[in-house]
Chain A
Amino acid sequence: MSGSSSSGRSYMGGLSISDEPEECMEIKGSVRVVSPTMTYFSTVLINTTLEVVLSDAIVVLLNHETGDEVGSLNPSNITKLKECLEQGYKYEANIYNKDGASIDVQLTCIGKK
């Protein structure tokens, strides 16, 4: 079921991860939001983009407009994602699915500071 292509990138599951040097740029995929703030997510529109930052060693999502934390992330490659955030890579999370408290975001790297 799982497999790797010759480029060294595995495609199994939610996140795509490369083994190559630019791997921080390559972290992307669908991730479920942990402990979403429902007062925010009940009204926010699909396709709204959230900022992804480290806060007290946890990867959290920030409301772009207010700067408030609205949830956390725990993808399978969380260690790598944290490393990349610490190195200055910037990520965005686009809300693409919400069903009650089930919120899914599409994570993409948007460059380095």
Chain B
Amino acid sequence: MDEHPVRLVVEDDLRRSRVTVFFRLLLAIPHFIWVFLWTVVVVLAAIANWVATLALGRPPDSLHRFMCAYIRYVTHLGAYLWLAANPYPGFVGEEGEYPVDVTLPPPASQLRWKTLLRVLLALPSVFVALTLGGLGAVRVPYRGTGGRLGASLGGALAGITAFLGWFASLARGRMPKGLRDAGAYSIGYSAQVLAYLLLVTDRYPNADPTALLESVERPPLHPVHLVGEAHDLRRSRVLVFFRLPLAIPHVVWLVLWAVAAVLVSILVWLATLFTGRPPAALHAFLSRYVRYSLHVYAFLYLVANPFPGFAGVRGSYPLDVELPGPERQNRWVTGFRFILAVPALLVNSVLGWALGVTAVLTWFVALGTGSAPWGLRNLAAYALRYAAQLNAYVFMLTDAYPHASPLEGAGEPQLSFDDAA
């Protein structure tokens, strides 16, 4: 696939100033005022740009430059706010001056029908961007008790990584790489969405984490990682149309299995605490459960095509998970496992929103084309990988903490809690 013209450049060294981290929101207040004013102007300029691009077939140079500066500025501000970068950003969106930056294409001819329908066409990517949080959180209105209208926070991967990263940065003076990568990914995708919306390019945003973070070093290989055939994007339309009802028997079975898994995990927790190692038979049982849940979710969320089996057999499904054996585990990490898992649970919950949105979008696309979009498939696979790592951690299969980086790991496993997030 061709390289996307909007590319994220990450040169951040993960070091953070504790003082600026502590006061980050307050320090950003001038930027909030400035970005508000700039956004008002950009909305008006975007309308003019749209009319001009429709008429000329390409955006005028001056407006294009203005839009590029705005996108860069928003990217810098987002990186600062979500703790994906450390230095205080400038106010004019200078190119190449910030550790998390974005390269944008020069003005080029654009198809007029795509320009005409740009806002409509951009809607799916806006939904994805909202769940990732690079543009802000999704506020889901609901009617609470007494008929009061309230709103809940849904999605916002960047928000949750910043929240967790704030504590970690204050404690260690460094941003955990996994959280930084996740935040940078959200910001990068949002930049692509903005570029598409503001007619900087007519290339559709690509949610593929590997493509977006190609300038970022891959994390160490986690002992729990995905294996299988990622490139088979074919989807049977019949199975897609009936995906939800077809998955329900699996969901029922998964719930029953989960009850047993929870009970068994308590035994494993006690055994691991005393012997330092999970019993092999129970470890194998829980490994099957974790693998089966991945198969079911991969099917339900359209990350893979075929109907999965009910036994969680290794290698039986195109998207599978590699799990470690019953190895020795750190007793401290075992003892406090459920408390330590809370941050990962938060990350997992927002990734769940992204997973849901990608599934809905993939459902429509796959029903029409018989194929899953590569970018959405990989975003969903990232969410599933994280969920599998979390499951493996909570169910005592490993003491390696889930790694939040959207990038697949490379090289030797690194199991330290400090370096992962």
Tell whether A and B belong to one assembly. no
A→B interface (CB under 8 Å): none
* Residues in chain B within 8 A of chain A (CB atoms): none
